[in-house]
Chain A
């Protein structure tokens, strides 16, 4: 049986390229596995040196130039996940803007090579929790309620616990559903 498990991961590795890319972008697609086994596994997909290779600064994009969350995290209004912008989106501006800066040059190199930067995850809910950005935004919950004032952070850090108590305090205050299976899957 353990060999079957190993084969499973061999398959993940074998599916490199687009399939793996899509998997990694899935924000929990792979998480459906028992969490103990899945943790760390996708690191096999990515080149470790690529992680956080670019320093992305929200204070410049949001704080200085006033970009909105939804400008880049476009799926938040229509899906469970908010999504990270594809490299193509970054290059939409950076083909012209700040081309001389080393971070932007690193991005341009990745773009030419058809690669994407690999980011460290800051916010996550466990595998057994169902969370939908779409529903929360429709209920007029502000991004900042959970993610804090990202526009003032040079490096994004977690400012809320995302514990069940954190969720429930808000749900109770807003008379949102508090049944277990509203969130537990």
Chain B
């Protein structure tokens, strides 16, 4: 080798960049220079080692189990807990992002009191506690009522409200459960059709056909993880044939993108379709028992011609839909969802329940929680169910969970246990197999005793407040004033209440109206035990010491009772934490709860399941309504509370950071509307200005907007979203630069998302010659398989990726410049087949190409190919030429235009560098987790096992769409999938030989 050659690229750069390297070195000052040891060693804590705690996610009322990864006393990442039957090891995007709220600078870290001048000021706890007690005492002295408004609290803290009110000599029923997104119409319909005042539960895994009436299982209806898993369970697994999914509704939602057939019908005509299907079902299926005689006659007007005229669907299509439902045994009809409900919500619900009854689905795919069905009805469904449930009984402490016979310990309150119990500090904790769960007497029935049978409604609360009966109102994580005018009458009634206290994590709209704002712990910092549904009791334990000067709501109440000398019937063993630790079993805490299988209960049709007197088809209004639809990123219906969820683009439209109005291109053309024109939507209730998004799948006669950004349209009836009639839409002449991540909704005919028929395979890809050396492969090839048959675009993987990898949130302005930092994104491609719109989804991350275009162009050797098949990125070598990003055909690389601020240093994952300005970053299959697992195996002197390395995206996928492993191990799941007939690579003709394999989506037969 000549000397000239010896001065290779590296040496040349070393000389050339030497001068600037001096400057660079000064950028990196290393670690904090001080070390503070502990005073006393904390029990079992090892600095530098993660500990894992099981708890339960409270980001929504569903109650998925979680496993918190805790480093040096800080929770840094949440994973699902596989033991909890609701989440089954997965979390949704909101659950993943909730850790941002724990460390958010907007969190309220101290109590606040109202000064005589009217403003809120920061107070100390003794003063706040005194003010709270004084407010309560004044109400008691004046013989007025003390009332709670709480988020769903189906557990100890919830039961404490009733006990506390009893101790104060108040009616324990003075508790309003505030769950604004709960689909109350489903409950009301169930009451009328079955005499069961509860939400139904579905089992999609058994259904051969699912018909959804605007029911967005992932975005709404109380349990997004179960919804997502349910949809993927419909797809083929093993010998099970694909279930078919048909979605009818006024808007193509995320859930609707997963449908084999999306039927866009005239908004408001859903009831006609449901009744028309009921009518046909009468002749296609044997009648179920107890069917009222007059039903056939009552349904007679809903013949297929009338229904076709009303819905705008083809009569033949409706008939074939009915035949498909009748022949699929069992089928399942779900809904109505938020997008499909208007004034007729309850009756539509009844029609859908009746359709399920007529199709023979009761007790198989459609049922109720056993605790919700009256004992006289409960014909105890025969099978264990991990069914898709919908937020149980609404979670009210009042909606008492009847004690099971085997929970026979008479104890007034739910029990708890010894201090926080970590799991073995090692991700691969062996899981206790289901079924071997020992039962402990957990005294759940204790809650039933003080809890009233009928809880207070919000309307009754308003009435009492206006009558001046209420002396003190206590909000507990409930923020009704944030929902526009939906609860306006409550807002007005607040003026009549002398004392308002608010337990909260943020200074929210309701807290700003309070006299005392009592900063509560985050749910990761405090105890509870939740009876979520029959057989599912989850234990919430603190995973870290409270970060701020907050106090548990339960402790404020217990202390107040103590100081007011009114403790009769309250637990007398100290604080919440003491009490919990006194009773719960550490074994159960380690598992995150007590889980048994429970069967779906079969309901019985009421004597008159639906009343159709004086009704006829085709009465839907002709005006173009506004449809406010739910969003998977805002489960509580509120926008703007979590920056991470704002930044992650909406899967279907790619919009982020603001709301939008979907406008059909034809309508847009007719009315001269372009994307970015600000439209004013106004209804009788109010108006809201949002930017237009011309979106091909939108219906011509519907203006659809995401509910969280359009709360200004809500009328004071407590219902959030749905169809709002008589809306006017006007162009304001203003423009708004909508943040859209997608440059185009088309895949430009590149065939990125492929589909195959039920039993087809893809043609074999041509093998192309390569100029790269072919002998670089070591003993391993890390690889990811993305099954597009299962992926439903819920976005949990994206949120998990952000949190695990310290990815920066850049904000709307930088997003507009295309500077989003997401390593894993979900692309959407809008297509139209025979006039029916469809959206195809494609998760894209770094493809870890074997012949990577990014690698040879790096002048700094900052990106290189490892012998395990990764395109590694060495952040401190990167000098920011951006050549690699320019050369990457998958746009998988992200450049740091600034040293982005992070909300809190405490939230950062210490195993991943925080990148600074001028550095290119990308997905490396969570190389820190690969390294961790490899070291663990090395220390234990054993080879790495399959399934030991779980990247963040794979770990939280509820659909099971992502499979990670070693391609060189022929028996690994990922290798098997990569050999399957559905396997392909995106942009295969570029011959980059990616490590990410996509599996084509199976196309089901269309309806004839």
Q: Which residues of A contact B (CB under 8 A)?
A: 1-2, 4-5, 7-12, 14-15, 18-19, 21-43, 45-46, 51, 75, 78-81, 83-89, 111, 114-121, 124-128, 130, 132, 134-135, 138, 179-182, 184-185
Contact = CB atoms under 8 A, between A and B. Distances in A.
Contact of A128 (B901, B913, B931): B913
A111 B39 contact: yes
Contacts of A79: 46-49
Given A4-B105, A85-B37, A185-B913, A127 B28 contact: yes
A116 B935 contact: no
Interface string B831-873: 0000000000000000000000000000000001011001010
B902 A8 contact: yes
Given A39-B29, A185-B913, A45 B36 contact: yes
A26 B50 CA distance: 11
Contacts of A138: 938-939
A34 B246 CA distance: 49
Contacts of A38: 31-32, 905
Contacts of A185: 911-913, 927-928, 931
Which 4 A-B pairs give the minimum distances between C-beta atoms? A7-B105, A32-B908, A26-B72, A22-B73
A87 B39 contact: yes
B902 A33 contact: yes
A1 B901 contact: yes
25 contacts: A5-B901, A8-B105, A8-B904, A12-B905, A15-B906, A19-B906, A26-B47, A28-B31, A29-B74, A30-B32, A30-B905, A34-B914, A35-B29, A37-B899, A38-B32, A111-B39, A116-B38, A119-B37, A121-B32, A126-B876, A130-B911, A130-B931, A135-B938, A138-B938, A180-B872
B900 to A, nearest CB: 8
A84 B927 CA distance: 29
Nearest to B30: A124
Contacts of A80: 48-49
A1 B927 CA distance: 30
Contacts of A31: 30-32, 910
Q: Which of B48, B899, B901, B906 has the most CB of A within 10 A?
A: B48
Given A39-B29, A87-B39, A75 B34 contact: no
B126 to A, nearest CB: 17
B103 interface: yes
Given A24-B36, A36-B29, A184-B876, 9 more contacts: A7-B903, A11-B105, A22-B45, A23-B73, A26-B71, A31-B32, A75-B49, A127-B914, A180-B874
B98 interface: no
Nearest to B935: A135
Nearest to B29: A39
Interface stretch (B541-549, B703-711, B717-725, B971-979): B541-549
Contacts of A40: 29, 32-33
Contact of B34 (A15, A29, A43, A127): A43
B855 to A, nearest CB: 12
Contacts of A18: 73, 545
A116 B905 CA distance: 23
Nearest to A135: B935
B874 A181 contact: yes
B109 interface: yes
Contacts of B47: 25-27, 75, 79, 81, 83
Contacts of B393: none
B72 A22 contact: yes
A75 B544 CA distance: 21
Nearest to A45: B36
Nearest to B905: A33
A118 B73 contact: no
Given A12-B905, A181-B924, A184-B874, A86 B549 contact: no
Contacts of A75: 46-49
Interface in B32-66: 32-42, 45-49
A127 B37 contact: no
B35 A25 contact: yes
Contact of A27 (B31, B45, B906, B908): B31
Given A43-B34, A184-B876, A86 B40 contact: yes
Given A12-B906, A26-B47, A35-B27, A86 B37 contact: yes
B30 A35 contact: yes
Nearest to A90: B37
B981 interface: no
Nearest to A8: B904
Contacts of B39: 21, 86-88, 111, 114-116
Contacts of B41: 86, 88-89
Contacts of B544: 19
A78 B51 CA distance: 13
B899 A34 contact: yes
A7 B9 CA distance: 44
A87 B38 contact: yes
A42 B32 contact: yes
B237 to A, nearest CB: 36
Nearest to B546: A19
A22 B876 CA distance: 28
A128 B877 CA distance: 10
Nearest to B106: A7
A51 B904 CA distance: 26
A125 to B, nearest CB: 8
B212 interface: no
B783 interface: no
Nearest to B863: A180
A182 B868 CA distance: 12
A90 to B, nearest CB: 9
Contacts of B74: 19, 22-23, 29
Interface in B581-618: none
Given A31-B32, A83-B47, A84-B35, A4 B939 contact: no
Given A119-B34, A134-B939, A8 B876 contact: no
A117 B31 contact: no
Contacts of B549: 14
Given A24-B36, A42-B34, A36 B866 contact: no
Contacts of B73: 18-19, 22-23
A35 B37 contact: no
Interface in B904-922: 904-906, 908-916
Contacts of B910: 26, 28-29, 31-32
Nearest to A111: B39
B547 A19 contact: yes
Q: Which of A12, A38, A41, A138 has the most CB of B within 10 A?
A: A38
Given A35-B28, A114-B39, A130-B911, A8 B901 contact: yes
Nearest to B32: A42
A33 B46 contact: no
Contact of A181 (B28, B547, B806, B931): B931
A4 B901 contact: yes
Given A24-B35, A29-B72, A36-B27, A181 B927 contact: yes
A32 B36 contact: no
Q: Which of B903, B913, B935, B939 has the most CB of A within 10 A?
A: B913
Contacts of A114: 39
Contact of A81 (B30, B48, B547, B911): B48
B418 interface: no
Q: Which of A19, A32, A39, A128 has the most CB of B within 10 A?
A: A32
A120 to B, nearest CB: 6
Q: Which of B37, B914, B939 has the most CB of A within 10 A?
A: B37
A147 to B, nearest CB: 15
A38 to B, nearest CB: 6
A33 B914 contact: yes
A122 to B, nearest CB: 9
A35 B914 CA distance: 8
Q: Which of B33, B36, B924 has the most CB of A within 10 A?
A: B36
Contacts of A12: 904-906
B939 A135 contact: yes
Contacts of B45: 22
